[in-house]
Amino acid sequence: MAEQNTLCMVEAINLALHRAMTDDPDVVVLGEDVGPNGGVFRATLGLHERFGFRRVMDTPLAETLITGIAVGMAAQGLRPVAEIQFMGFIYPGMEQLVSHASRLRSRTRGRLSCPMVIRTPHGAGIHAPEHHGESTEAMLAHVPGLRVVIPSSPRRAYGLLLAAIADPDPVIFLEPSRLYRSVRQPVTDDGQPLPLDTCFTLREGSDLTLVSWGAALKETLEAAARLAEEGIDCEVIDVATLKPLDAETILASVSKTGRCVVVHEAARSYGPGAEIAALVQEQLFHALQAPVQRVTGFDCVIPYARQEMAYLPDVESICRAALRTLEQAS
């Protein structure tokens, strides 16, 4: 019997890393402070002691390098799991992700491939310094050849990270830092991966579909509960795998409810919500009873700690958007 523990998300991530490194000697971990310190959020705690410096590598402070050596290691058949300390520092590695990791397989017509994972804390709301609250997943989800994954619970973090590490292609694994320690849940260390291209339906409902991911699901689920008190029955979908997008689950839900609200922390313009809204109207124009609504971050620079909470989608905004879709005469 696999052991079951009540874990927060960062502990579940740590558990998945221990599991992956135990099961596959090709899995290696690298990044800044991931060694004896166990990572600034402690996601890599205990790995260095257990698996040694050869497989758990503190790198110099250089994000282009971290991303680029992961490409080289992966091309050699290792399964590097690189940590970028905060999403705000992923940008130097973008060239490596866009120009190499995502297309090494395609460029060589399958001769080489890039089974690597980049893990990085995602999103605002933890009162961190400037540049520590980014949610720029759309930049990554735009890139053909990458996978972009974002868990919203400890259990899904465990299963999705295992899947990301086992996947034969590059995966960006975004970890909502606001959820790192806020929720606890029993997690079984069963080594079972979750599917990488399927949305999770967190709540079933018939009146409207709320689509979200990552930390914003906390407010989205709260909004669904509040709406339920008013007799409005929401379906809540967790798009944990943003790229490739599981359109099928979203479309099936909206064709049932006829109404859709997308909630995300990322800035509004060109955000993933635009993609989902476009998809829904392309495929379900006649089934829609109201225009698709978006509740998102703003097209302003993500504010520093004092004002960051106003940037995040709140329960009230989500409820209002839901009500707007219901006000439309059908």
Partner 1 sequence: MPLTVQIPFTRYLDDQGQPQGDLPGWVDDPPLLLELYRQMNLVRLFDQKCVALQRTGQIGTYASTLGQEAVGTALGRAMTDADVLIPYYRDTATQLQRGVQMQDILLYWGGDERGSAWSAPAAVEDFPICVPIATQACHACGVAAAFRIRQQPRVAVTTCGDGATSKGDFLESLNLAGVWQLPVVFVVNNNQWAISVPRCLQSAAPTLAHKALAAGIPGEQVDGNDVLAVYDRVRTAIERARAGKGPTLIECVTYRLGDHTTSDDASRYRSAEELSEAWKREPLGRLQRFLHQQGLWDEAQEQRLHRELGEQINAAVEAFRALAEPEPSAPFDHLYQQLPAGYAAQRDQWLERAGRLAGGEHG
252 forms part of the interface with partner 1 (CB under 8 A): no
Of 95 and 130, which has the nearer Cβ to partner 1?
95
59 forms part of the interface with partner 1 (CB under 8 A): yes
**What's at 306, amino acid-wise?**
R
Cα-Cα-Cα-Cα torsion 166, 185, 220, 304, nearest 10 degrees, comes to -80
Residue 157 CB, nearest approach to partner 1 (Å):
21
Q: Which stretch binds partner 1 (CB under 8 A): 10-18, 95-103, 128-136, 257-265?
A: 95-103
Site for partner 1 in 189-208 (CB under 8 A): 197
As to burial, measured by CB atoms within 10 angstroms (0-12 exposed, 13-18 middle, 19+ buried), residue 130 is exposed
Would you call 166 helix, strand, or coil by DSSP?
helix
- Give dist(CA 272, CA 299) in Å, integer: 13
Q: Which of 48, 100, 122, 132 is catalytic?
A: 132
Residue 116 CB, nearest approach to partner 1 (Å):
9
Site for partner 1 in 35-54 (CB under 8 A): 54
Question: Residues near 176 by Cβ (< 8 Å), separated by ≥ 6?
Answer: 9, 121, 122, 123, 150, 151, 152, 214, 215
Residue 286 annotated to the active site: no
Angle between helices 247-257 and 272-284 (to 10 degrees): 60
Q: Which stretch binds partner 1 (CB under 8 A): 56-64, 178-186, 214-222, 258-266?
A: 56-64
Checking DSSP bridges between strand 234-238 and strand 200-203, what pairing results, if any? Answer: antiparallel
247 forms part of the interface with partner 1 (CB under 8 A): yes
According to CB under 8 A, which one of 73, 117, 164, 321 is a site residue for partner 1? 73
286 forms part of the interface with partner 1 (CB under 8 A): no
64 forms part of the interface with partner 1 (CB under 8 A): yes
Residues catalogued as catalytic: 132
